[in-house]
Chains A and B, each alone.
Chain A
């Protein structure tokens, strides 16, 4: 019964709106909603693992999201200026531009994550209030550095030609970027599950999420895993930021902060420490936001709040939470 409830909610959420929305619009909205969900999932996945394993509230996650977007933005702008890879119609050049941007963004985020964990977070283990305060401080600093380095205004994100536009499937216009985002999200989810289930590192992380102390007593230096998970989570957030920039075709210094709220809501809905829960929560939030934004634009954010409230009332530990 417990397993069915989340799926039931998902089904209602997905197919319910068909009652109010015409099928083709529904399809477009669904794809947009799934794409938005996937991008939020990228941010939420890292957040939920960081909290599950380390018991750390990482409010700097949004800033890393922004940094990922901006680093990617710079790389894309650079390769376009030098070699025209973005404006070119060649698929391979477009792909190369995107891959370079992703690689750069994730590498920078890994570095940021390691630095943040070692310098900012480690001294405040176990003290939630200080974690909140200090990661907020780090966010301020990181965001201001963006404003200094790239300017305080919103900027247009150049999107490779191959990603722009849409496909025409049986009279339905399907935008390319959202589909790419969905594919990427699924890949990342599969990758995370694979690492967690099949590798030794993943095994120890899973054990650590359940009982940090025992893992130490089994002879593993849990702090190395902390740094690793924090860095990996940051890399995912950066990827999410870059994809979000492509999705929205713009970058702004505060973009991370806005998405962080969504990510927190998703983590609460999905359950702390559960990656699958985050995926489910993210898709629910993305879908409901898009459907409602179409039907009653001003109520869109309210739906997200309402969803969180409903889930917390019915299941305080989250949909798939461990109830620690």
Chain B
């Protein structure tokens, strides 16, 4: 298994160096970012067993924190960037603790609905507080130093060091760091305790585990990781607005990805993200194919354009037949083969 992970990492690291087009590099970056986001969500839903709809909100907090730090405080520097990232993490942590402390005491369904309500609230706040957040138009931060558009760091080993290259590796490193932290977390005593709680909360309580404290800790950790991913997103895309970083569409994407990849597998996020992001990018081609095959038929065009419909159907089918997702089913199959 770990060979596959190393191979994946190598693939990500080598993509920009192999002369790939910007579209492919962008694809790889987005996959890396969302894989990390989904993995952090998996910690909540798969390892701790908490269903939350507010996760996208933390992603947005991280993105906005960086964007704000780089636009509202004068000319952007590396210091601003770091401050933004750290501020995002701190805000995320505080927010997570507040929400978790308040909401985890109620029944699980209440928690899901409350997080949904908070996420919606966050979107509306971002849209309406336009003096600060730029409203619906959002913010377009400029990045400091080497990361800025047109930044040129000369050549290293014959490879031109463009701002894009630097940004790519910086963000990739951040994602890697997050993954390592998450893997560490899951295998730590706290991580194992959480799995015990997820499997049988009553028994865990009987054994003296402080369930509530553990869940708050897990929620906070996962949320902080999400803010880091959000920060990375802001650095790469250089454009932050409510629609792309907060709210229900992102949350639905994350849900789709975590289901397809596999709940409770952590790395399933890679599979899910790869699938969804690639599918999204190739959809314009699909609708063109549809228009070519059935020229003049509005219905056929509509059917090929509305790819979300097929995602919805796929989602339902996966939940029914492969509730463990791609990775989960594979792991289960290999475990069975191993033991028989």
Interface residues of A (CB under 8 A from B): 51, 57, 120, 123-124, 128-130, 132-134, 136-141, 144-145, 147-148, 257, 261, 264-265, 267-268, 272, 298, 301-302, 304-305, 308-309, 312-313, 316
For the complex, would chain B's binding face be called helix, strand, loop or mixed by DSSP majority? helix
Contacts of B248 in A (CB 8 A): 257
* Closest B residue to A261 using CB positions: B120
Q: Whole-angstrom distance from the CB of A265 to the nearest CB of chain B?
A: 6
The reply to whether B51 and A137 contact each other, CB–CB distance below 8 Å, is no
- CB < 8 Å: which of B51, B121, B320 contacts A302? B121
Given contacts A134-B320, A137-B312, A298-B128, 13 further A-B contacts (CB under 8 A): A51-B109, A134-B316, A136-B255, A141-B312, A144-B308, A148-B303, A148-B309, A261-B120, A264-B117, A265-B117, A305-B117, A308-B114, A309-B102
Contacts of A264 in B (CB 8 A): 113, 116-117
Measured as residues with beta carbon below 8 angstroms from the partner, the interface class of chain B is 35 or more
Residue contacts A-B, CB under 8 angstroms, 28 given: A128-B108, A129-B51, A130-B319, A132-B51, A132-B112, A133-B259, A133-B319, A134-B319, A137-B312, A137-B316, A137-B319, A140-B308, A144-B306, A144-B309, A144-B312, A147-B302, A148-B302, A148-B303, A148-B309, A264-B113, A265-B113, A298-B129, A302-B121, A305-B118, A308-B114, A312-B106, A312-B114, A316-B110
Is B252's CB within 8 Å of the partner chain A?
A: yes
* Closest A residue to B121 using CB positions: A305
Ranked nearest first, the 9 interchain pairs of A and B with the lowest CB-CB distance are A140-B312, A144-B309, A141-B312, A137-B315, A137-B316, A264-B113, A148-B302, A298-B128, A144-B306
Is B313's CB within 8 Å of the partner chain A?
A: yes
CA distance A313 to B114 in the complex (A): 13
Once A134-B319, A257-B248 are accepted as A-B contacts, the answer to whether A145 and B309 lie under 8 Å apart by CB is yes
Which residues from 268 to 312 on chain B have a C-beta closer than 8 Å to any C-beta of chain A?
A: 299, 302-303, 306, 308-309, 311-312
Contacts of B311 in A (CB 8 A): 140
Q: Whole-angstrom distance from the CB of A142 to the nearest CB of chain B?
A: 8
Contacts of A139 in B (CB 8 A): 312
Q: Mark B18-35, 1 if CB is under 8 A from A, else 0.
A: 000000000000000000
CA distance A136 to B108 in the complex (A): 17
* Closest B residue to A324 using CB positions: B107
Is B45's CB within 8 Å of the partner chain A?
A: yes
Q: Whole-angstrom distance from the CB of B199 to the nearest CB of chain A?
A: 14
Is B250's CB within 8 Å of the partner chain A?
A: no
* Closest A residue to B123 using CB positions: A301
CA distance A135 to B121 in the complex (A): 22
Interface residues of B (CB under 8 A from A): 45, 51, 102, 105-106, 108-110, 112-114, 116-118, 120-121, 124, 128-129, 248, 252, 255, 259, 299, 302-303, 306, 308-309, 311-313, 315-316, 319-320, 323
- CB < 8 Å: which of B106, B128, B306, B320 contacts A148? B306
For the complex, would chain A's binding face be called helix, strand, loop or mixed by DSSP majority? helix
Contacts of B124 in A (CB 8 A): 301
The reply to whether A147 and B306 contact each other, CB–CB distance below 8 Å, is yes
Interface centre among B105, B108, B309 (most CB of A within 10 A): B309
- CB < 8 Å: which of A57, A261, A267, A272 contacts B112? A57
CA distance A122 to B83 in the complex (A): 50
The reply to whether A136 and B323 contact each other, CB–CB distance below 8 Å, is no
The reply to whether A123 and B320 contact each other, CB–CB distance below 8 Å, is yes
Q: Whole-angstrom distance from the CB of B213 to the nearest CB of chain A?
A: 19
The reply to whether A141 and B320 contact each other, CB–CB distance below 8 Å, is no
The reply to whether A57 and B316 contact each other, CB–CB distance below 8 Å, is no
Q: Whole-angstrom distance from the CB of A263 to the nearest CB of chain B?
A: 10
Once A302-B121, A316-B105 are accepted as A-B contacts, the answer to whether A140 and B252 lie under 8 Å apart by CB is yes
Contacts of A51 in B (CB 8 A): 109
The reply to whether A140 and B319 contact each other, CB–CB distance below 8 Å, is no
The reply to whether B109 and A128 contact each other, CB–CB distance below 8 Å, is yes
CA distance A302 to B306 in the complex (A): 34
CA distance A257 to B247 in the complex (A): 12
Contacts of A138 in B (CB 8 A): 312, 316
The reply to whether A140 and B116 contact each other, CB–CB distance below 8 Å, is no
Q: Whole-angstrom distance from the CB of B149 to the nearest CB of chain A?
A: 34
Contacts of A257 in B (CB 8 A): 248
Q: Whole-angstrom distance from the CB of A266 to the nearest CB of chain B?
A: 11
Contacts of B316 in A (CB 8 A): 120, 134, 137-138, 141
Contacts of B109 in A (CB 8 A): 51, 57, 128, 272
CA distance A134 to B306 in the complex (A): 19
* Closest B residue to A254 using CB positions: B248
CA distance A278 to B248 in the complex (A): 25
CA distance A75 to B51 in the complex (A): 39
- CB < 8 Å: which of A123, A141, A144, A312 contacts B110? A312
Q: Whole-angstrom distance from the CB of A93 to the nearest CB of chain B?
A: 32
Contacts of B118 in A (CB 8 A): 305
Contacts of B110 in A (CB 8 A): 268, 312, 316
CA distance A139 to B117 in the complex (A): 18
